[in-house]
Amino acid sequence: MQNRRLKHFFELVIQGFFWILPLAVITMIVLWLYKKIDGLVEGVFNLVGFHPQNNQSLWFILVIVTFALLLYLVGHFVETRLANWTQNILNKIPGYSTVRDIIGIFNSSKKGETQVLVVAIKGFAAEGYNIGLMYSQKESIIKDHYTVTLSQTPIPNGGYMFEVHKDNIYVIEEATFDNNLQYLLSMGVKSLAEILKTQAKSIDELISLHEWLERNQKQ
């Protein structure tokens, strides 16, 4: 009994860690950028003999405006040909494209052939289905088959890859990568329906990947 409680305690610790980790990383990056921009703004204004830090409200506004302008310039740069040229150079660095693609899968709002889909496939048992992810909609080396990944729980950094016929893959359209991550971290304590705040559906109510692909090709 004591071992079970201890195991349950550590499982909750791990779950809490992976829940707070993205927030902590984003906060650290934002604070680091703010500190750098704060120093840049201070240096520029000191050159002209202006010291807005004597007025903290004005200083804060100036730093925030500079931060927003910097992000705008970066966003504009990404859409230019210069960004594509830079990207082509970086792609020549061994391993860069692989790392970029791995990081990219955490963006669940992607579209096209790199969109992350939450799907259901025939399960390991005699009946039932498994919930998995499709990190792209590119056809496998086997005709009409597509790669589905089943992640482990509660630490979803491992799993298994399966090549599944498109008629045997059902897309859960309202679910996102983040929803699936919550489902994995809960170890089934929360059902996917509970996370999505929706009612359970029969498999016939889900759209098959074959139908999903046909519909999206027409758009």
Radius of gyration (Cα) for the chain, nearest Å? 23
Give the pLDDT confidence score for residue 48 in this predicted structure. Answer: 58
Q: What residue segments make up the domains of the chain, in order of their start?
A: 2-92, 109-218
Instruction: Give the pLDDT score at 108.
Output: 45
Query: Which of these, 104, 133, 138, lies nearest to 118 by C-alpha position?
Result: 133
Q: Is pLDDT above 60 for 181? A: yes
Specify the higher pLDDT residue, 166 or 26. Answer: 166
What rounded mean pLDDT belongs to the chain? 76
Q: What pLDDT score was predicted for residue 164?
A: 92
Looking at residues 9-30, what average pLDDT do you find?
72
Render 21-83 in DSSP notation, one character per residue.
Answer: HHHHHHHHHHHHHHHHHHHHHHHHHHHTT--GGGSHHHHHHHHHHHHHHHHHHHHHHHTSHHH
Provide mean pLDDT across the span 97-106: 57
Retrieve residue 37's tokens.
């921009």
Q: Which pLDDT belongs to residue 206?
A: 92
Label residue 143 by pLDDT band (50, 70, 90).
very high
Least confident of 123-127, 172-176, 194-198: 123-127
- Mean per-residue pLDDT for 158-172? 90
The mean per-residue pLDDT over the stretch 157-161 comes to 81
